[in-house]
């Protein structure tokens, strides 16, 4: 059975990724890198925000990359279950840690529309750690 990430990679040309993370440093860093890879990125800071985006059927989301632990009432698992039942065409990648999220973003970038040089997810991890160390 393919993993969520393999499922995501199986999409021929994903164009828009919904990044769901309640840590702005993680969210903005992942989003920035995914945009560098050529994706359109939509950001959500909670499961509730993600549902608001996903319920707007005019938004063509191809992949949702979500942290498991989210602030608010809806966590990543619940979000994934909602997507599976209501928007089954959207691939879901759940990440339990920023490191895993960065690796998932790296895999998406390798399959991305504008990949021009090797992508090192460790750079994303290092940047997230550096930014978190200086945030208040």
| Residues ≥6 apart with Cβ < 8 Å to 95 | 65, 66, 67, 68, 76, 101, 104
> Does 28 help bind other proteins (rule: CB under 8 A)?
yes
Report the interhelical angle of 121-134 vs 24-36 (nearest 10°): 150
Q: Which phi and psi (to 5°) does residue 29 adopt? A: -70, -45
- Single out the residue of 14, 34, 46, 62 in contact with other proteins (rule: CB under 8 A): 46
Only one of the segments 28-36, 62-70, 99-107, 115-123 lies at the binding site for other proteins (rule: CB under 8 A); that segment is 28-36
- Single out the residue of 4, 15, 43, 99 in contact with other proteins (rule: CB under 8 A): 43
> Binders of other proteins: how many residues, by CB under 8 A?
19
Only one of the segments 6-14, 82-90, 98-106, 127-135 lies at the binding site for other proteins (rule: CB under 8 A); that segment is 127-135
Sign, Cα dihedral of 63, 65, 71, 76? positive
> Does 82 help bind other proteins (rule: CB under 8 A)?
no
> Does 49 help bind other proteins (rule: CB under 8 A)?
yes
């Amino acid at each position: 059975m393919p993993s969520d990430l393999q499922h995501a990679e199986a999409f021929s040309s994903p164009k828009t990724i919904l990044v769901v993370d309640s840590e702005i440093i993680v969210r903005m860093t992942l989003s920035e890198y995914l945009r560098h890879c050529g994706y359109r990125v939509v950001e959500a800071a909670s499961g509730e925000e993600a549902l608001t985006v996903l319920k707007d059927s005019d938004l063509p989301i191809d992949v949702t990359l979500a942290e498991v632990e989210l602030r608010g009432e809806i966590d990543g698992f619940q979000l994934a279950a909602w997507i599976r039942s209501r928007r089954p065409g959207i691939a879901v990648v759940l990440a339990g840690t920023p490191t895993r999220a960065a690796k998932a973003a790296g895999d998406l970038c390798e399959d991305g529309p504008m990949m021009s040089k090797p992508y090192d997810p460790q750079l994303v991890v290092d940047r997230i750690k550096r930014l978190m160390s200086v945030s208040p």
